[in-house]
Amino acid sequence: MGLIVKTTARVTIPLIGIFGSYIVMHGHLTPGGGFQGGATIAGAGILFLIAFGLGEMKKRYNKNLYSALEGLGGLAFLGVAMLGMSVAFFYNTLWHNGPVLNGKPGTLLSAGFLPIMNLAVGLKVFTGLVSALTAIALWRRWKG
């Protein structure tokens, strides 16, 4: 892409990333959450891919790291869900009698495992969409 597009992307990619992180972090207070915020951050990654091209993306993108992070997001989700296993699966033990994340409803550190789950799902969606789009961009055979 041209110089204007590259400069604009340089400015907007951090803003999109910050906004997506805001959506993920405030998933239990405002509309949005892990899936929506993760897709927003993945939009920043795709903007990077389109504005700077596949060559630049190949240097920055590490397939193994992104696959590992996607698996890690899913595992964090499951692990947090199992925290209250002594009562039931998905028992919100952090909210009912946990040491952290049990503040007043409406504050950032409230709602038990919901913020952790939002972070895990956001990480999973972001890395998954970026690796899928990079795999599609790397596929370059138009004729069989």
Partner 1 sequence: MKRTIAYLSLLFILGALLYIANPNYGLKFGLGGNNWLKYRYTDNYYIEHGVEEVGGMNIVTDIVFDYRGYDTIGEATVLFTAIAGAVALLRPWRGDGE
| Residues of this chain that bind partner 1 (CB under 8 A) | 27-31, 33, 35, 70, 74, 77-78, 81, 89-90, 92, 95, 102, 105-106, 110-114, 117-118, 121, 124-125, 128-129, 131-132, 135-136, 138-139, 141
Residue closer to partner 1 by CB (options 4, 88) is 88
Please state the closest distance from residue 27 (CB atom) to partner 1, in A.
5
Give helix 114-138 / helix 34-60 axis angle, nearest 10°: 40
**Which letter does DSSP use for residue 105 in this model?**
B
Q: Are 36 and 54 in contact (CB under 8 A)?
A: no
Please state the closest distance from residue 47 (CB atom) to partner 1, in A.
19
Q: Are 128 and 70 in contact (CB under 8 A)?
A: yes
Please state the closest distance from residue 99 (CB atom) to partner 1, in A.
14
Residue closer to partner 1 by CB (options 48, 77) is 77
Burial of residue 90 (number of CB atoms within 10 Å: 0-12, 13-18, 19+): middle
21: nearest Cα among 2, 48, 39: 39
Please state the closest distance from residue 48 (CB atom) to partner 1, in A.
18
